[in-house]
Amino acid sequence: MAAGSVAAGTAPAAAAPVAATAAKAPEAPEAVGTLEPPKTPDTPRAPDIPKTPDTRETPDTRTTPDTPRAPEPPKATGTPDGTPEGSDAPGAPETSAAPATAARPGAGLTGAGPGMARRRFVSRVLAGTAVAVAAGTVAGGTHSVLRGPSVKRVTVPLAKLPRSAHGYRIAVVSDVHLGPTLGRAHAQRIVDAVNSTQPDLVAVVGDLVDGSVENLGPAAEPLARFRARHGSFFVTGNHEYFSGAEQWVDEVRDLGMRPLRNERVEIASGFDLAGVNDVAGENYGDGPDFARALGDRDRARAAVLLAHQPVVVHDAVRYGVDLQLSGHTHGGQMWPGEFLAGLANPTVEGLERYGDTQLYVSRGAGAWGPPVRVGAPSDITVVQLASRDA
């Protein structure tokens, strides 16, 4: 009974402090040896969510020594394009990475882009144009040879030519170069062209063939059909010596042409016609001999000399020749051949004067090497002599 009185009497005393505490403003609880930060009474703390390791996040310094930390993966030292990534420094604000894009072909290369594409297009157009022009030029040059030589006419006045020889026509044929490409049909085209001019005399001034009589004899057969009032004459060129000069001299004689081997004849109309061997014959003991051909002639008469190479014109001047007819140069045949021919010959084509001697150089009726001529078409020249007394 006494115990129950003590309990009943104690209860009111304990309630009084509780009521007083409720009426008093809440105070921050004192820290009693805990490491957790202070909390407000009304805001419950959300439980911590475990985080996955992030290379851009600063290390968690709150990890207790008792909790082992998983090793962090190595950090990227820069952005994909090689520039430093400033947001990886500790304490720096994080930035969102730009989405990676596929590298465009040619990106980062000097000159890439529309400008390079235009230059490439222009270069291809120019290259294609150059190829087309070259092909067209070669095709045109080949056609000009295969269709045969054209006929060119030149009038040459000679001081000592008598009036009876005024208008005398000499068909000059040089550098035919019969061979595997230019064969019998080419020889026939030349004969037809020459005969159409109705010459008084035909002069074949060397380089008729590029091969032996055995191989090219049939190709030369049409040359037997030259028609001229005073016949056809022949002198050797350097290619005859490469092909068997003695055999070809005999062959052209059988074809009706008269070889002039360091000799001369008197033409009935009133002038001398002389011919000398080519200078290449010196290597075979058969070179030109001007004294034999011209030494004892009457210099009051006009003299026409047949000589394959123009370089002998200075000998012609010494022997009082009025007109020298030559070939050999092909007029250069194609660029830059005219410049090279000019280095070795006093005249590349056409008519020029050396003292009292005139030199005419034909471009030739064929082609040597490739059957192509560019800028120097093949020709047969009809030289018409003129007297000053006419």
Cis amide leading into 90 (omega within 30)? no
- Residue 66: pLDDT band (50, 70, 90) is low
The contacts of residue 258 (CB under 8 Å, 6+ apart) are 231, 232, 233, 234, 265
Least confident of 76-85, 218-227, 336-345: 76-85
Distance CA 110, CA 125 (A): 22
Reply yes or no on whether the pLDDT at 313 is more than 90.
yes
pLDDT digits (tens, 9 = 90+) for 237-264: 999 999 999 999 999 999 999 999 999 9
Structural domains in the chain? 151-387 (3.60.21.10)
How far apart are alpha carbons 205 and 197 in whole angstroms? 18
Instruction: Flag whether pLDDT at 277 surpasses 70.
Output: yes
Task: Of 40-44, 216-220, 335-339, 383-387, give the lowest mean pLDDT range.
Answer: 40-44
Looking at residue 31, its pLDDT comes to: 43
Which has more pLDDT, 100 or 190? 190
SS3 186: helix
Residue with tokens 């070795």: 344
Phi, psi dihedral angles at 343 (to 5 degrees): -75, -25
* pLDDT over 50 at 291, yes or no: yes
Residue 229 is which amino acid? R
Give the residue from 106, 317, 296 showing the smallest Cα distance to 305.
Answer: 317
pLDDT of residue 55: 47
Q: Give yes or no for a contact between 196 and 229, defined as CB atoms under 8 angstroms apart.
A: no
Predicted pLDDT at 87: 47
At 138-149, the pLDDT tens digits run: 565 564 566 779
User: How many angstroms separate the CA atoms of 175 and 363, rounded?
Assistant: 8
Q: Residue 155: its pLDDT value, please?
A: 98
Per-residue pLDDT of 168-179, as tens digits, reads 999 999 999 999
Q: What is the pLDDT of residues 85-127, one digit of tens each?
A: 444 444 444 544 455 555 555 455 555 567 888 787 787 787 8
Of 313, 188, 174, nearest to 239 by C-alpha is 174
What do you get for the CA distance between the two ends of the chain, in Å? 186
Which tokens in the block code for residue 232?
A: 């056809």
Residue pair 235/279 in contact (Cβ under 8 Å)? The answer is no
Region 200-229: what's the mean pLDDT?
96
Average pLDDT, the chain: 78
Reduced 3-state DSSP string for 171-184? EEECCCCECCCCCH
Neighbours of 294 (CB within 10 A): 23
Q: Which range among 147-151, 294-298, 353-357 shows the weakest confidence by mean pLDDT?
A: 147-151
Residues above pLDDT 70, as percent of the chain: 65
Q: Hey, is 361 helix, strand or coil?
A: strand
pLDDT exceeds 60 at position 367: yes
Predicted pLDDT at 105: 53
